[in-house]
Amino acid sequence: MQSSLNLLVICLLAAIPSCLSQQRPTVQLEADPFVSPGSVVKIRCNVQGVPRPVTTWKENGQPLLATDRIAFEDHGEFHLLVISNVQHTDSHRKFECHARNENGGAMAVRSFAVVSDGLAGKGTLWFMSGLVHFSKDTHQYGMNLAGGVAGQSPTVDLQGPTHVPAGGAATLLCIVQGQPRPAVVWTENGLPLTSSGGRIRIEDDGGINHRLIVSSAQPSDSFKKYVCRASNRHGAAKAMRSFVVQDNNYGGLAGFGF
């Protein structure tokens, strides 16, 4: 009986170092908050834990896969996510480093802002929990002055005729400003418009001017809601305009007899 107890004590004592050496993962992310377009970004994930955790990268909760611009490096105690040829669309993407072993898991999230060189030295960026924060919220945040500016939310000024002769052309001019340059979408009564090669043509001069041209105006075009919507990573803006198609002979609303 005594020998059995001694053996049990020996086994328990032998297991103590193994138990004490167990450690659930910890994760710490490091990355520059501001980067230039076309540069290379390296997000460093420092991972600790016993046994050595398995580390994976995700974006918005989904597994992140290697591409021609995204690569992964394993350096033992730290891991790198390497993003080449950084683009403005990479701003505010939420990159996650996950680590897991038999004792549990941990994760951390990081984002960055792509800042044009011409904007350096101005402005303020807001951060929330290490993420570049662009949208309004009711929380209170800290402020990080870092000699750069993320940009400007879009503004939209939509101009165009109120009356168009039947068979004529209506040109709507949408003047859009913002930094980075906003993406512009046209809609008609809530449906997206494209240059179809028919009566609708969309023009972009590469600057602030965007045009929607409706050729061969028809009675059915009257009172349609044409919307110019601009968006970038800082927000969105839109404006709406309609016109009336007039009968050339009577000066009234074409197709309605008055």
pLDDT tens-digit series, residues 130-185 = 455 544 443 443 334 344 445 788 999 999 999 999 999 999 999 999 988 999 99
Contacts of 182 (CB under 8 A, 6+ apart): 154, 176, 230, 231, 232, 236
pLDDT tens-digit series, residues 34-57 = 788 889 999 999 999 999 999 999
Task: Tell me what pLDDT residue 202 has.
Answer: 92
pLDDT at 3 over 60: no
What residue segments make up the domains of the chain, in order of their start? 25-144, 152-246
Q: Which SS3 state, helix, strand or coil, does residue 118 take? A: helix
What phi and psi, each to the nearest 5 degrees, are found at residue 9? -65, -45
Listed in sequence order, the DSSP H helices in the chain are 2-20
Fold annotation for 152-246:
Immunoglobulin-like (2.60.40)
pLDDT tens-digit series, residues 213-247 = 999 999 999 999 999 999 998 888 999 999 999 87
Q: If you write DSSP's letter for every residue of 123-162 in order, what string do you get? A: --EEEETTEEE-S--SS--EEE--S----EEEEEEEE--S
Mean of per-residue pLDDT scores for the chain: 80
25-144 and 152-246 share one fold:
yes
66-79 average pLDDT score: 92
Fold annotation for 25-144:
Immunoglobulin-like (2.60.40)
Longest dimension (CA), the chain: 117
Task: Tell me what pLDDT residue 228 has.
Answer: 95
CB atoms within 10 A of CB 83: 21
CA 24 distance to own-chain centroid: 33
123-136 average pLDDT score: 48
183-205 average pLDDT score: 87
pLDDT tens-digit series, residues 8-31 = 445 455 555 555 578 999 999 998
Dist CA 37 CA 150 (whole Å): 12
